[in-house]
Structures are given as C-alpha cells and as structure tokens.
Structure 1
Amino acid sequence: MEGSSKRINANGSKNEKDLFHVIHKVPCGDGPYVRAKHAQLVEKDLETAIVWFWKAINAGDRVDSALKDMAVVMKQVARTEEAIEAIRSFRRRCSKQAQESLDNVLIDLYKKCGMVEEQIDLLKRKLRLIYQGEAFNGKPTKTARSHGKKFQVSVKQEISRLLGNLGWAYMQKSNFMAAEVVYQKAQMIDPDANKACNLSLCLIKQARFDEAHMVLQNVLEGKLPGSEDCKSRKRAEELLMEVEYRQPPPELKDILGFDLEDDDFVKGLQQMMNEWAPSRSKRLPIFEEISSFRDQIAC
C-alpha cells in the first residue's frame, strides 16, 4: 500500500511538472536555453533571460531558437541595435532552416530602428531567393506562427507579404511611384484590404484622386479579402474623406477648360518638363531589381 502511494505521488508530481511546461510554454530540461525561457516566460525577467540566451548561444544549446528569441526579447527592452548586431554576428552558427526566421526578425528590427535601406535590401534578397526556388526549403508551403497559433503559408502569400513590406519601405522614403508599382504587383498576386489602402495612399500622394477613389471603393464595398476588418474599413473611410477633400471640384475643371487627368494635358506637361529639365531615366528603381523575375512571381 505504501509503495503504491509513492508511485501515485511520483506520477502526480510528474503530471504537475508536465502541466507546468505546457501552461508556461517552457521546454523541459535544465540547460541555459531552458533557464532563459523560464526567466522570459515565468519570471518575466527579460534582462536575466538575455544573459541566459547568450550563455545558450555560446554553449551551443539550441542556438537557432536562442538567437531568435534573444533578439525578440532585446527589442522588447529597447536594445534593438544590439539585437541586429547579434543576429548579424551569430547567424552563421544557426542551421540553414533557421535563416528565414532570422531574416523575418531582422526586418522587424530594421523597421523599429528606422533602417529603411537595410530593410529594402533584405526584402529584395528574400524575393530573389523565392524566385531562385531557395525559400521554404524547396516546399510549396511553410508553417508559420502568429500569436501562438500555427498556420500554413503558400509561396504566393509570402511573395505578396514581402512586396507589401517593400512597398511600405518605399513609402517611408517618400518614393511613392516605386511603392505604387510594388503594391500593384502585390495586389495582383494576393489582394487584401490593407494593401489596397496603402496603394490608395500612394495614389493620393501623386494627386491621382480618381484612381485612389476606385481602390478605396473596392474596400468599402467588400470586394477584397479583409474588407470586413473594422480597422481596414475605418482607414478606407478616412482616406476617402481625404480624397474628397483634396480633389478639385468639378466646376474648377470647367473654369480651367481641361480635365486635370486628361492624357493629352499630362503628355504635354511631361514634354514641357523634359525640355526644362535634364534628361534622366524613367525606369523606377524597383524595376531594376524585380523585372528579371516579375513574370515568374506573378503566378
């Protein structure tokens, strides 16, 4: 009877320990990586967690996860530049399978630091890897995680996501023409309401109000995935108000005697500008980078 009681207690303790790891999402063991996750998720001591993540990397203990998790925690405690340097310095110790996740973390860190050029370069490199068939480890889909939930992402969805990020980066540089081209491409591949709003903003910045109005109407009429999202609808409504506020009234066009978006007028204006200004290439920067494979990624 006594032996049976000990077995029950032992099994009970084991079950409680397993339940603890499940609830707190802390891996089993006693190595530096496990201690880092315990400090991060249970004790909520992020600085101590960073110390243990460093020890895990140096000890070769789950380096893939340790480096990525440490960078994320560093961002949370406003040590973003250190996180960038850590990934750059130690990613060679990580497996090939971990490189894509590290790139995604790095893009997020670049955003946080306002490192737009670095962000653009990395996004273009990731698009090239997809074109070359080197992304997703040669598979048509990959497993992604968001807010603790796993889901499948297709190559097409990933291309559209990367183009969306690239468009936003160009917008930060006020290169609205390049951003427009990228967003148009992203919408051809995998349209959604959020990118449509960004595309409309690019058009507004170029005073192409009628085109912006049409894009926003697609969102408000529920024609795009994500149109039902409250944030997307609210943003579309706000942008539409801006379009209506900034668009010249019809009577102004009548007074001027021409349509402000008339093709002949625009061509004449462009010709006049060419005569006044030195000749320059009309090729947008984005074409130089993605034109070689833009047909392939349009699938």
Structure 2
Amino acid sequence: MRKDCNKVLVPRMLTPRPQPPQRKPWNSAPSTPIQSPAKSDSDSFLPKLPNEDSPYVKAKHVQLIDRDPSKSISLFWSAINCADRTDSALKDMAVVMKQLNRTDEAIEAIKSFRHLCTNKAQESLDNVLIDLYKRAGRMDEHVELLDHKLKLIEDGVAFGGKTTKISRSQGKKFHVSIEQERSRLLGNMAWAYIQQNQYQKAEELYR
C-alpha cells in the first residue's frame, strides 16, 4: 500500500512524568476520642412509655417493646379490670386482636365493655368497630354503624359539635374536617352496599 506522503504527521506530545511527592517527616497526630456508635433508626422510633408500674403500661411495654401481642392481650384485660386507662386499654386490645385475626372477639369486647369508657372515647371506639366489621365481613352491622355516625353529623353532634377534630395515624397528628369525615363514611357505606350487591344504593352515594 502506498503511503500518503502529503499527510503531515504531528508528533504526540509527551506529558512529563509526575514526580513522586516528597515525604514529610512523620508527626504523631493527636488521638481522636472514640465516639459511641450512633443509635439505630429502630431505637429512635421506640415509643416512650411512662415510667410507672401500672397494668396498662405493662401491657403497652409487652406489645411495643417485647413485641408479644398475645401476652399483651391478657395484660390489657387486667388494665380494664383494674379501671386503669380503660379507654386506651380497650381500644388498644381490640387493635391487637385484629392483628391476630381475632376480629370477632375484638368486636364482642368493645360491645361488652364500652360502657366502662368515657363519652369522649365512644367516637374512637366506633371507628375501630367500623374497621372490625369490615374485616369480619359483617356488612349489616357495618352499614348500621355508618348510618348512625352520619346521623350524628347531620344532627351537629359529631366532633363534639366542632367543625374539625385532631386525629392520629402512625404517630402523626392531623386535622380532619366534618366534610372530610362525612365523605369517608359515605365512601365506606358505598363499598359496603357493593359487597351486598346493592349497586343502585352504592351508585346514589357516589354521585
């Protein structure tokens, strides 16, 4: 093959070889104190329980710290029998029962012992019951309770007569308006009607 003599070859520039850095005399650095390991994320989310030896606190400790839901149920029963924070004990016990698929037992517990709770706790217990009825497939009772709560809104009794309330979910607080609550209840009722094959009633609620 004939070379192209007219092509000018540009020599590649040689880059200078880097010189090794000069060693500096070694000096001992000041010692750094060893820091204790940072707390893990799981530790930071551990609930803070009151420093007391009451039946309810024992139940919450077993539920959240020891993570033994079955054992916590018997301790919640003890708290209810001792009238120790009955509102919270009954509600928390029902939630644990639901987690263990003991839904019917949770329903009967609330219906049988809610009279021991304060008037302020009744609305919260109703919300737990709504979820339990839904989980258990007890649609007639589900619709009946939803209808009752909607009438409380119409009569101006829900939320203690206020237009908003503070709810809690997964440790966070947020405001709920009376209209948001009404929409939530209507959505639940429409879903229940669909489960009962009452599609016309469900459609009327979705309009």
| Shorter-chain TM-score tier | 0.7 to 0.9
Matched, 1:123 2:146: yes
Residues 132 and 32 of structure 1: is their aligned pair in 2 closer, same or farther, counting only changes over 3 Å?
Answer: same
Task: Report how far residue 21 of structure 1 moved.
Answer: 10
Task: Report how far residue 25 of structure 1 moved.
Answer: 3.7
AA aligned opposite 1:139: K
Considering fraction of residues, name the structure with more helix: 1
Where does residue 40 of structure 2 map in the other structure?
A: none
Query: Distance between the aligned counterparts of 1:137 and 1:47, measured in 2?
Result: 35
Among candidates 98, 107, 110, match of residue 84 of structure 1:
107
Query: Distance between the aligned counterparts of 1:63 and 1:21, measured in 2?
Result: 28
Q: CA RMSD in A?
A: 1.4
CA contact (8 A) 2:55 2:78 kept: yes
Query: Distance between the aligned counterparts of 1:25 and 1:120, measured in 2?
Result: 37
Task: Report how far residue 22 of structure 1 moved.
Answer: 7.5
Where does residue 98 of structure 1 map in the other structure?
A: 121
Where does residue 110 of structure 1 map in the other structure?
A: 133
Per-residue CA deviation, residues 18-59 of structure 1 (Å, 9 max, x unaligned), is xx8973243332101000000000001001100110000010
Identity of aligned residues (%): 59
In the alignment, structure 1 segments of 5+ residues that lack a partner are: 1-19, 185-299
Among candidates 115, 121, 146, match of residue 169 of structure 2:
146
In the alignment, structure 2 segments of 5+ residues that lack a partner are: 1-42
Task: Report how far residue 121 of structure 1 moved.
Answer: 0.2
Task: Report how far residue 147 of structure 1 moved.
Answer: 1.8
Among candidates 38, 55, 58, match of residue 35 of structure 1:
58
Among candidates 39, 44, 48, match of residue 67 of structure 2:
44
Normalised to the residue count of structure 1, the TM-score between the two structures is 0.54
Query: Distance between the aligned counterparts of 2:71 and 2:192, measured in 1?
Result: 34
SS at match of 1:24: coil
Query: Distance between the aligned counterparts of 1:34 and 1:126, measured in 2?
Result: 31
Task: Report how far residue 92 of structure 1 moved.
Answer: 0.5
Where does residue 169 of structure 1 map in the other structure?
A: 192
Query: Distance between the aligned counterparts of 2:177 and 2:51, measured in 1?
Result: 32
Per-residue CA deviation, residues 144-165 of structure 1 (Å, 9 max, x unaligned), is 1122211000001000000000
Where does residue 137 of structure 1 map in the other structure?
A: 160
Residues 153 and 100 of structure 1: is their aligned pair in 2 closer, same or farther, counting only changes over 3 Å?
Answer: same
SS at match of 2:132: helix
AA aligned opposite 2:103: T
